[in-house]
Amino acid sequence: MIPGSELSGAAWKLGAHPWALHASGQPRVEEMARVLSKAKGKAPTHRASLKAEMRPGGIARLPIVGVLAKDASWWPDTAYDEIIVAARALREDPNVAGVLLDIDSPGGSTLGALEAAQEIATLAGEKHVLAYTDQMMASAAYFLAAGAGAIGSSMTAYTGSIGTFTFFADMSGWLADAGIRVEAFHNREGDLKTTWLPWTGLTDDQRASIQDAVEKSHAKFEGHVAAHRQLAPGTMRGQVFLGDEARDRGAIDFIGGREDAEAALLEMVRG
């Protein structure tokens, strides 16, 4: 994503805030920036709403797939708002005894992530919830999974990537080469107001402001995970782990296939 290019509006919408996203999800975000740019403010895609699938034994399977963002009205992958609605419905459904969060996601935006994670934790406080992946459960997706009663993965799945980031594209050098000099004016006390404008460089205070936003966003992520998981030191450096190391570090509870996850959840339900 390059703020200031033809993708400017969409890129800013997607980029000018902290993300909890594994690097493998970045191409998907860039793809959506292009799609949103071409859509010119209209909803670029339509898809079926997120819906839980009932399994035998009162088990509901809830798929959480793709890069995560807050609003389903414009995002083609799973949206936090949908997860919240689905979690509340599952909590209120007397026919649901347990929930399998079937996850394949590199994470996503931090906007709405905490609210969705808290809703899943509330669900897990009333019903049995197990999060499982046989591909990837990274960053914001792990944020969601942390509040489940148990977490599992296949041996070759990636789990973790606990951390947040953002970026700033300084276009001032490119403009200077084109003979263009941009000056931004703000009210005297508003020295941070123009922080995200890419046509001028960052001041030290603006750079510190961006870093502060990333740290505060990460603190919410870290705090939620720490409240639900006992992780080994050094696990929250933003890295991902394969199954055995994820288990050894406390990021997951067991290694197995999806059938093993469903059997474990049924055992939890039966007590």
Tokens (6 digits) for 19: 């993300």
Lowest mean pLDDT among 63-77, 186-200, 216-230: 186-200
Percent of the chain topping pLDDT 70 = 92
Q: Within the chain, what is the greatest distance between any pair of CA atoms?
A: 72
Tokens (6 digits) for 35: 């799609």
Q: What is the mean pLDDT of residues 13-38?
A: 81
199 lies in some domain: no
| Amino acid sitting at position 243 | G
66 lies in some domain: yes
Look at residues 41, 39, 36 and name the one whose alpha carbon lies nearest to residue 15: 36
79 lies in some domain: yes
Whether the per-residue pLDDT at 97 is higher than 70: the answer is yes
| Amino acid sitting at position 193 | K
Of 64 and 14, the one with more pLDDT: 64
42 lies in some domain: no
11 lies in some domain: no
pLDDT, tens digit (0-9, with 9 covering 90-100), for 198-240: 778 888 998 999 899 999 999 999 999 999 999 999 999 999 9
145 lies in some domain: yes
191 lies in some domain: no
Whether the per-residue pLDDT at 101 is higher than 50: the answer is yes
Look at residues 61, 105, 55 and name the one whose alpha carbon lies nearest to residue 80: 105
Determine the structural domain holding residue 81 and report its residue range.
Answer: 48-163+232-270
| Amino acid sitting at position 201 | G
155 lies in some domain: yes
CB count within 10 Å of CB 223 equals 11
CB count within 10 Å of CB 83 equals 25
CA distance linking residue 22 with residue 226, whole number of Å: 20
CA distances (Å), origin 204, targets 146, 190, 201, 210 = 35, 14, 10, 10
CA distance linking residue 172 with residue 84, whole number of Å: 41
Domain harbouring 242, CATH code: 3.90.226.10
Q: Do residues 15 and 167 lie in contact, with contact meaning Cβ atoms separated by under 8 Å?
A: yes
Lowest mean pLDDT among 29-33, 138-142, 186-190, 219-223: 29-33
pLDDT, tens digit (0-9, with 9 covering 90-100), for 128-179: 999 999 999 999 999 999 999 999 999 999 999 999 988 877 777 877 888 8
Classify burial at 30, counting beta carbons within 10 Å of its beta carbon; exposed 0-12, middle 13-18, buried 19 or more: middle
Q: What is the mean pLDDT of residues 103-120?
A: 97
Q: How many domains in the chain? A: 1
